[in-house]
Amino acid sequence: MTAPAAPVTRPRATPDPSESREPLRRRRKPSLHGTLSRVIIALIVIVQVYPLAWLFITSLRTEDDFATGDPFALPKAVTFDNYARAFETGNLGMNILNSFIVTMGANLLIVLLGMMAAYALQVLGFRYSKFVRSLFLIGIIVPVQIALVPLFIDYSSINLLDTYPSMIIPLAGFALPMSIYLFSSFFEYIPRETYEAASLDGAGPYRIFGLITLPLSVNTVVTVVLVNSIFIWNDFIFANTFVLSEELKTIPLGLQNYIGAMGKTDWTATFAAVCVTITPLLLVFLVLNKAMIQGLESGASKG
Amino acid sequence: MLPNRSRLSVLVFLLPPLLLYGVAVLFPIMQSLFLSFFSWNGISDMEFVGLTNYVRMLTADDVFWRSFFNALGYLAICLVLQLGGALLVASLLTSMRRGRELIKTLYLLPAVISTVAIAFLFVRIYSIEPVGLLNQLLHWIGLGALERPWLSDINSVLTAVSAPEGWRFTGLYMLIIYAALLSVPQELEEAARLDGASRWQLFTKIRFPHIMPVWITTTIMATTYGLRGFDIPYLMTNGGPGQSSELLTTYMYKTAFTAQTSATQAPSPCSSSSSAWSP
């Protein structure tokens, strides 16, 4: 995709810097290239964002308007009936609460255990640490579907099917490798001297963990929590496999109830329900988005 | 290594994570592998059959091969959209002065939406009755001949179910590549510019080689997530029409959890595809 865009601009972009040998920084970018890249960026952003805006607009349409009207047009009349129907049909409040419990539980495990494993591997160190590390890292590439059948068998033999832990355990387990990877690459950047100084002062591994490593890792914790929350909040496959009862259904399962509940799907109410369920995560994301982007970027440039 | 550590302290920190990982990931994989050598319908006694399951899957199961190639097609589309789109936007972003933060946020937005919601959304985008966004757009720009029910046309359905997955995570990879591009030393680019390097040369000779390690990491990430792809095809078409959008993952899931008659096959696709997927 990049290839066609760049050569087009080349003929006009090159002569300037080569002829006048002055620092390019001082002048404005060549206008053709600048305009072109802005147009491309704007187009891609529209493709990324418009469907979401459309989702919201549709949730405010009347059913007739949706069924007959031009999909790009603004709604003829704004109605909140869809939201009322959305709350009547499903149990959105409970779905959100369940998603919240599962996300919190899994995140707690992912952060705490991920940090502990990274501490043992990166800071404490031991003879087989290389082997253990690669054992963990294998988990990044294992497809989750492979564990579904065995987990289902195991859960049913210990009566764990249809519980919160049945979702939390595999969600946390499969997210653990990435968390360990992120924490390890962060711990690498804590200077050795810090630990040595603390050791000389008589601090053991537990105190060093609690007083040095833990407080320094706050940013990484935020990144790990946010990235994982996105996946866990929206997890479909584990919830769909292990949860049967209505009271434990998380958001993705709750949303499925809207499809064809009465033979015909009430699309505007469905979209209203989607909007309601997106909101909590979206708010958190928009508030903490800067911290997350920074965390992702710093993790990446080290990798 | 910390001077004052004891063997006990290593175990205290290492065992809990290892336990969770073992229970949730390692043990089930072993079980899957183990079960794949048996014939078992979940109720009666298990019977050891050796490699029979594998042989049957590889030689007698057309759906397996169909879904295998579909999965490759799905992967290819996801990679092009995610990595191509990510690289394009990231490179363009570095030359922008204002609004970078806003664009990064907007671009990442689809990653927050649940796959179920995305599946609903794209079902409506592709729909023809009432006319969805895509068909309407084609109509406007004069490509009305291309209008079709994208999800029930066997020629377009695989592309149609792959695109949402690509769309969803482009922003994530863009962020990573963008961060890598920012770390390219300014002096190097400056020097190349003074020597008269074009933008294209600058990109191919300096920037891209510099971000190569990150690019490889990102490709591995995108590939593994692409091979894991399940939710969107499962929810949008459930592999249909026929098997034209069946992926290994959806086939695996359906064999294991919906088709009672072929329960014996279940473990075999699981484990063999896992061995195919771990390099």
Domains with residue ranges and CATH for chain B = 1-58 (no CATH), 61-271 (1.10.3720.10)
* Best CA proximity match to B147, nearest among B156, A71, B158: B156
Question: CA–CA separation, B154 vs A136, rounded Å?
Answer: 40
Question: CA–CA separation, A266 vs B181, rounded Å?
Answer: 46
* Best CA proximity match to B185, nearest among B202, B172, B168, B170: B202
Q: Give B 58-97 residues with CB within 8 A of chain A.
A: 80, 84-85, 87-89, 91-93, 95-96
- Chain A nearest CA to B65, separation (Å): 18
Asked if B146 and B138 touch (Cβ cutoff 8 Å), the reply is: yes
Asked if A295 and A219 touch (Cβ cutoff 8 Å), the reply is: yes
Chain B contact set for A121 (CB, 8 A): 14
* Best CA proximity match to B249, nearest among B162, B157, B138, B146: B162
Chain A contact set for B268 (CB, 8 A): none
The answer to whether the CB atoms of B106 and A48 lie below 8 A apart is yes
Q: What is the per-residue pLDDT across A247-257, written as a single tens digit (0 to 9) for each?
A: 888 888 888 87
Q: Is B130 exposed, middle or buried (0-12, 13-18, 19+ CB in 10 A)?
A: middle
> CB contact, 8 Å: A73 with chain B?
no
pLDDT above 50 for A6: no
- Chain B nearest CA to A301, separation (Å): 5
User: Region B44-48: what's the mean pLDDT?
Assistant: 69
Interface test with B, best of A124, A133, A253, A267 (most B CBs within 10 A): A124
Most confident of A135-139, B98-102, B144-148: A135-139
Please state the ipTM of this predicted complex: 0.77
Interface test with A, best of B41, B116, B141, B253 (most A CBs within 10 A): B116
Q: Which of B13, B92, B112 sits opposite A282 (nearest CB)?
A: B112
Other C-beta atoms within 10 Å of A89: how many? 18
Asked if B125 and A51 touch (Cβ cutoff 8 Å), the reply is: yes
Question: Phi, psi at residue B149, to the nearest 5°?
Answer: -75, 95
> CB contact, 8 Å: A278 with chain B?
yes
Higher pLDDT, B46 or B222: B222
Q: What is the per-residue pLDDT across A191-214, written as a single tens digit (0 to 9) for each?
A: 888 888 888 888 888 888 888 888
Total beta-carbon pairs less than 8 A apart between chain A and chain B: 317
| pLDDT value of residue B225 | 81
Q: What is the per-residue pLDDT across A16-70, written as a single tens digit (0 to 9) for each?
A: 444 444 444 445 545 777 788 888 888 888 888 888 888 888 888 887 777 776 7
A3-7, A163-167, B55-59, B103-107: least confident range: A3-7
The answer to whether the CB atoms of A147 and B101 lie below 8 A apart is no
Q: Which residue of B has its CA nearest to A121?
A: B14
pLDDT above 50 for B3: yes
Q: Which of B12, B25, B42 sits opposite A139 (nearest CB)?
A: B25
**Distance from the Cα of residue B64 to its chain's centroid:** 19
Q: What is the pTM of this model?
A: 0.78
Q: What is the per-residue pLDDT across B186-211, written as a single tens digit (0 to 9) for each?
A: 888 888 888 888 888 888 888 888 88
> CB contact, 8 Å: B249 with chain A?
yes
**To which residue do tokens 């294998």 refer?**
A138
**Distance from the Cα of residue A47 to its chain's centroid:** 20
Question: Phi, psi at residue B47, to the nearest 5°?
Answer: -125, 130
Packed helices B100-108 and A31-59: angle between N→C axes, nearest 10 degrees: 40
Most confident of B58-62, B151-155, B173-177: B173-177
